[in-house]
Each structure stands twice: as C-alpha cells, then as structure tokens.
Amino acid sequence: MKTYSTAPGRERSRTIACNLCGAKRHRRALASRDYTFVRCSDCGLVFQNPQPIFEDLRYRYGQNYFEYELRNEENFFHLMKLGLEDIRFFERTAALDRSGRFLDVGCATGMLLGYLRDRGWSVRGVELCRESAEYGRRCRKLDIHIGTLEEAGFPDSHFPVVHFSHLIEHVPDPKAFLTEVRRILVPGGFLVVVTPNIAGLQARLFRERWRSAIADHLTLFSRATLHRMLGACDFRVLDTVTWGGLAKGSVPGIVKRPVDYLAKKLGFGDVVLMLGQKRESETG
C-alpha cells in the first residue's frame, strides 16, 4: 500500500539541478502519471524532476493530511520511539540537561513531543500543516510553530537536538534545510533524520509501486546519498540503522519476519535513520 499522498493539482513546476552535487545530467529512475524521479548521473541522488514549486506544494498539507496524521499517530510515534532506542538516543543524550531544548521539525500532532516533555525535556515543534499544529497546541499544550523551519527564525546555536522523521523527503531544498538545522544546533548538537531508503529491498522490488514513490516526496535518499548530504552540510554521522524488509501483508509472516531481521542486520531496510552531530569547531 502506498504512503498517503495528495494528488497533484494544477501546480507550477520547474526543472532543477541535483541538490547534492549541482550536476544537471541525470537519467529517469521512476515515473508515473503524477511524477518523474531521476537519478543524478554524477552522485546517484534520486529526486523528482521537474519539481512542483513550494509556494504551490505547501497547500497539499491541509485537512485531509491532518486526518491521516491523526489516524496514524500512535503507529508513527511507536516507530519513532523504536528508532530512537535503536541508536541509543537516550543513553547518548543522558549527559544533556533535559531542560535543554528538543526541536521536532514536521512534528505532526505532537505525540513524540508530548512523550519527551513527560521525560523532562523542554520541547518545541515546527509543522507546516496548520490543522495538525493546532491540534498539538490545543490538545497537548505544545509550542508548535506553523510553517517551515526557515520561517520559524530560531536563534543561532539554540537547540541541543533537532529531530525530523519522514520530513526531509518533502523538502524542496534538502541542503538548505540541513544548513538551517546546523545553524540552530549548538556545537556538538545532535541531528536525528528518518527517511525512506531508495536503496532498500522494497524500493528495488516494487520500483514505481514502492509505497514511498509518491508525488509528495521530492527527494528519495539512499544510505550513501544521505550520508554524503550530511557530510556536505558539515555533520559527522555517528550511527545509521535501517528497518522494514517487506511490507505488512505482502508475504506470509513466516517469510516477513526473517527478511525484516536481515534488513535491519544487513542495512537494506525500507527506512533509514541517521544520527548526526554538528562539528564542535563550528560556532554557527
């Protein structure tokens, strides 16, 4: 089953160069009626091209998107929590002052933020979908900025931790986004990113039918291209995990369980999580 996606309307689009290396040479990777993904001939990054412009794209995230997020918030929270445990996040941040700020970009309805607040963190969120943000504000009493990270205008070196799960693939300029994340992180601060893995087993098997090959996703990272992107933005990668071998319901459980185990063990899972750290030498 495909991930939820809003059907494209009459949106303007533009042809772009590779966001990672700047090259303009590419070949078709995945295509449907609603999108074309290309693979950079120089660095291998997979991205939608031509790409809808963000001024039009942001209006996809409205009431229907909120309802999808609300229906699935328990499952999404469970997966995010497992991901943090996989990278030993709570152990690695044990020395941090929990009253220090934890920022979740693309925080949806705020379930993860509410959980971390209950563990003693001072938390803030950023969410483009107004309905989701207002739900988190109203029902969980959270401080959530409605809009993009850049629009939030946080101070330099402000957060010890910035987390974003299934967000970077929606961002039109991932390098600029990561540069903004680096600016607002304290030196030595942690970044946690989760995104679909274009080099995973499911993507290779299903191609255009892969659940993350959707019009709302603008860039599809592999472990290699995400690692390179983080490095280009002056982050040191501390840990990488993947999970999800085969989609639920696609095969019997007796097949799915060992494939899921191997996907995590060998790194060909459907989703990749990376823990990065802002280099100590940087001050802004």
- Counting every residue written for the chain, the total comes to 284
Angle between helices 73-86 and 111-118 (to 10 degrees): 50
pTM higher than 0.85, yes or no? Answer: yes
Q: Where are the domains of the chain?
A: 13-278
How far apart CA 73 and CA 144 sit, in angstroms, is 16
2 three-class SS: coil
Taking the chain, what is the end-to-end CA distance rounded to the nearest angstrom?
42
Neighbour order of strands in the sheet with 185-196: 144-146, 122-127, 101-105, 159-165, 185-196, 271-278, 235-243
Tokens 């950023």 belong to residue: 126
**Per-residue model confidence as pLDDT tens digits over 181-196:** 999 999 999 999 999 9
Phi-psi region of 77 (alpha: psi -120 to 50; beta: other; left: phi over 0): alpha
Q: Which pLDDT does position 282 carry in this prediction? A: 44
Helices then strands, each counted (H, E), the chain: 11, 13
Compute the distance between CA of residue 274 and CA of residue 226 in angstroms, rounded to an integer: 8
We find that the CATH architecture of domain 13-278 is: 3-Layer(aba) Sandwich (3.40)
Tokens of 252: 């019997």
Q: Residue 46 and residue 61: Cα distance in Å, rounded?
A: 23
Chain segment 33-85, per-residue pLDDT in tens: 889 999 999 999 999 999 999 999 999 999 999 999 999 999 999 999 999 99
Q: What is the per-residue pLDDT across 10-46, written as a single tens digit (0 to 9) for each?
A: 889 999 999 999 999 999 999 998 899 999 999 999 9
179-233 pLDDT, tens digit each:
999 999 999 999 999 999 999 999 999 999 999 999 999 999 999 999 999 999 9
Question: Each residue of 110-148: pLDDT tens digit?
Answer: 999 999 999 989 999 999 999 999 999 999 999 999 999
Q: Token match 């969980």: residue?
A: 140
The one-letter amino acid at 88: R
